Amino acid sequence: MLITAAMPAEVELIIPHLKKAGNLGRRPFWHGRLGKEKVWLLLTGLGMVNAAQAVTAALENLVSCRVVLNIGCAGAYESGPGLGQAVVAERVVLADMGVVEKHSWRDLSAIKIPLLPLTEGQKPVFNVFECDPGLNRGFLKSCPDLTTGVFATVNQVSGDIESARVVARRWQAQLEDMETAAVAQVAALYQKPFTSVRGVSNLAGDRHLDLKIGAEAAQRAVLAYCGLN
- Per-residue pLDDT at 225 exceeds 80: yes
Q: How far apart are CA 96 and CA 216, in angstroms?
A: 28
**Strand pairing class (128-130; 19-24):** unpaired
Cβ-contact 82, 210 below 8 angstroms = no
At the fourth CATH level, the homologous superfamily of domain 2-225 is Nucleoside phosphorylase domain (3.40.50.1580)
- DSSP 8-state assignment for residue 227: T
Segment 126-140, tens digit of pLDDT = 999 999 999 999 999
Q: Which phi and psi (to 5°) does residue 84 adopt?
A: 85, 0
Q: How far apart are CA 102 and CA 113, in angstroms?
A: 21
Please name which of 7, 6, 12, 2 lies closest in space to residue 219, comparing C-alpha atoms: 12
Cβ-contact 83, 73 below 8 angstroms = no
Q: Taking CA 154 as the corner, what is the angle to CA 149 and CA 155, rounded to the nearest 5 degrees? A: 165
Each domain of the chain, given as residue ranges in start order, spans 2-225
pTM value?
0.97
pLDDT average, residue stretch 175-184: 99
Q: Percentage of the chain with pLDDT > 90?
A: 93
